[in-house]
């Protein structure tokens, strides 16, 4: 029978090199918090009840970011180093047998396969533990792996504590470990902060176990890019780019055309149907689903929205928490701010803003309008410059426009107000009272022409 496996994720540090007020693991790459990526990888290895996250800096926010039932938390209120995090964790985990996999929360790219390889390396070597290493062109900042003449791992020396000679070693500790739980917990309290940083280094466990007569194996992987740890914003950008590349490549292989994919940002949970075209610099974010045969215009931002098949989003359009049915169009330069619904074939054109508005099938608002808290029936034409006055300074009020109505340009609809089916509003009207079905609503002063007025004025000069 396989031995049970416990995963611990270290996520308590502030991350000084980020120069941020926010805990490092709460920075985002590839559309997720760093710690979320690591947690997902951990979930491929162990059930949630066997996953523990060590939290400290902004622990409430880190817990909220994780939100996975069953996952346990351990508070490390003072952060005295990666080893200290495990010394604190010993109270909770010290009795759990089997294997212990330790991951750092700032290492979001690692794949479950790689961790399985690490566990297998520990198992097959019979060593008390295995550490994941890689030979790097530039290992600056990483701990260096020390080996004896026979090539056995004897320790890890940190950048700050290394001698010039040791710092020439290019094999680096990537910060992922698999230990047999029993010897690990037996020796964890032997860590000492006897280094220039006065921290308890988890990496010292290698030497401690060696001295106790236990071997430590190294699992050396070929491509260190997968296990890059993020320490500063430059590394954050590198990892973000790698994760974005993974997502757009997946979509392209699944039948989505992505123009200039290096400029496009797609969050991990987004789904897109085949033959949809995504133009350069588009951002498709959050829990968005897009159907087949759609077009997402250049520089558009679609967030947490559902687009059915054959939807067109013009350039520079923003869509948030909205649903667009088959054949609907929005943009260019439109803003569907929140909770809107476009029925099949509805069109929203340039410089139109919608908020909490339903636009019926085949209805159009093509230019320069604000429609807020509105319910608009099918086949309505909303003229340029139409404004719903939905806010009186205290409350929001609804506007209702019946099917087939024609809203003349520059109409001002003072809500709450209702325009009946098939009604017609004269251009430039201020509509303060309901307009019955099939009526004409005129809400403006009549035009007066003063004959010869202009000529006389000129002659007076």
Min separation Cβ 172 and ligand UD1, Å: 5
Min separation Cβ 263 and Ca ion, Å: 29
Q: What are phi and psi of 103, to 5 degrees?
A: -125, 150
Q: Which of 54, 65, 181, 359 binds ligand UD1 (CB under 6 A)?
A: 54
Site string for ligand UD1, 9-48 (x = CB under 6 A): -xxxx----------xx-----------------------
Binding span for ligand UD1 by CB under 6 A among 5-13, 42-50, 310-318, 339-347: 5-13
**Residue 303, C-beta contacts closer than 8 angstroms, at least 6 positions apart:** 283, 285, 286, 288, 318, 319, 320, 321
Nearer to Ca ion, 23 or 419 (CB): 23
Catalytic position from the list 37, 198, 329, 367:
367
Name the residue with the smallest CB distance to ligand UD1.
Answer: 143
Count the helices and strands in the chain (H runs, E runs): 8, 39
Kindly identify the residues of this chain, within the stretch 195-224, that bind ligand UD1 according to CB under 6 A.
201-203
Kindly identify the residues of this chain, within the stretch 127-186, that bind ligand UD1 according to CB under 6 A.
142-143, 156, 158, 172-175
Q: How many residues bind ligand UD1 (CB under 6 A)?
A: 30
Kindly identify the residues of this chain, within the stretch 214-233, that bind Ca ion according to CB under 5 A.
229, 231
Task: Find, among 178, 37, 6, the residue nearest to 105 by Cα.
Answer: 37
Number of neighbours of residue 393 by Cβ within 10 angstroms: 4
Site string for Ca ion, 81-110 (x = CB under 5 A): -------------------------x----
DSSP 6-47: EEEEEE----GGG--SS-GGGSEETTEEHHHHHHHHHHTTS-
Binding span for ligand UD1 by CB under 6 A among 80-88, 278-286, 305-313, 326-334: 80-88
57 is catalytic: no
Min separation Cβ 251 and Ca ion, Å: 30
Min separation Cβ 57 and ligand UD1, Å: 8
Number of neighbours of residue 79 by Cβ within 10 angstroms: 18
Considering just the CA atoms, what is the radius of gyration of the chain in Å? Answer: 31
98: left (phi over 0), alpha (psi -120 to 50) or beta: left
Torsion of CA 203, 207, 209, 215, to 10 degrees: 100
Token couple for 236 = 């954050």
Min separation Cβ 131 and Ca ion, Å: 15
**Residue 107, C-beta contacts closer than 8 angstroms, at least 6 positions apart:** 38, 174, 175, 176, 227, 228, 229, 230
Please tell me what DSSP assigns to residue 391.
B
By CB under 5 A, name the binding residues for Ca ion.
106, 229, 231
By CB under 6 A, name the binding residues for ligand UD1.
10-13, 24-25, 54, 76, 79-82, 84-85, 104-106, 142-143, 156, 158, 172-175, 201-203, 229, 231
**Residues catalogued as catalytic:** 367
């Amino acid at each position: 029978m396989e031995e049970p496996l416990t995963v611990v994720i270290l996520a308590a540090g502030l991350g000084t090199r980020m120069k941020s007020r926010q805990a490092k693991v709460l920075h985002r790459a590839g559309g997720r918090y760093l710690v979320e990526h690591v947690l997902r990888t951990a979930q491929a290895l162990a059930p949630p009840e066997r996953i523990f996250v060590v939290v400290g800096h902004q622990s409430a926010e880190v817990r909220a970011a994780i939100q996975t039932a069953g996952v346990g938390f351990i508070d490390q209120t003072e952060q005295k180093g990666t080893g200290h995090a495990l010394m604190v964790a010993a109270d909770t985990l010290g009795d759990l047998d089997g294997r212990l996999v330790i991951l750092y929360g700032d290492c979001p790219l690692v794949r479950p396969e790689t961790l399985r390889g690490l566990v297998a390396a520990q198992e097959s070597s019979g060593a008390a533990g295995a550490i994941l290493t890689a030979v790097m062109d530039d290992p600056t900042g990483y701990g260096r792996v020390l080996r004896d003449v026979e090539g056995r791992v004897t320790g890890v020396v940190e950048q700050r504590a290394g001698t010039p000679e040791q710092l020439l070693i290019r094999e680096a500790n990537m910060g992922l470990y698999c230990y047999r739980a029993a010897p690990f917990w037996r020796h964890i309290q032997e860590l000492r902060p006897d280094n220039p940083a006065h921290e308890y280094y988890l990496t010292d466990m290698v030497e401690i176990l060696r001295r106790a007569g236990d071997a430590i194996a190294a699992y050396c992987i070929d491509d260190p890019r997968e296990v890059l740890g993020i320490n500063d914003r430059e590394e954050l950008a590198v990892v973000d780019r790698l994760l974005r590349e993974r997502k757009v490549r997946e979509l392209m292989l699944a039948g989505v055309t992505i123009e200039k994919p290096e400029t496009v940002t797609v969050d991990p949970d987004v789904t897109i149907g085949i033959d949809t075209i995504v133009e350069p610099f588009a951002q498709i974010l959050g829990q968005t689903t897009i159907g087949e045969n759609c077009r997402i215009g250049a520089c558009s931002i679609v967030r947490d929205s559902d687009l059915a098949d054959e939807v067109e989003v013009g350039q520079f359009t923003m869509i948030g928490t909205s649903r667009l049915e088959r054949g609907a169009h929005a943009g260019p330069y439109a803003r569907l701010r929140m909770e809107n619904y476009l029925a099949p074939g509805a069109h929203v054109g340039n410089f139109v803003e919608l908020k909490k508005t339903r636009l019926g099938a085949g209805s159009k608002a093509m230019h320069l309008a604000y429609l807020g808290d509105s319910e608009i029936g099918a086949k309505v034409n909303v003229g340029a410059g139409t404004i719903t006055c939905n806010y009186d300074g205290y409350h929001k009020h609804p506007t209702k426009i019946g099917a087939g109505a024609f809203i003349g340009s520059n109409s001002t609809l003072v809500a709450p107000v209702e325009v009946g089916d098939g009604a017609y509003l004269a251009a430039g009207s201020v509509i303060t009272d309901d307009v019955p079905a099939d009526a004409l609503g005129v809400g403006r002063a009549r035009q007066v022409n003063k004959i010869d007025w202009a000529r006389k004025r000129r002659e007076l000069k």
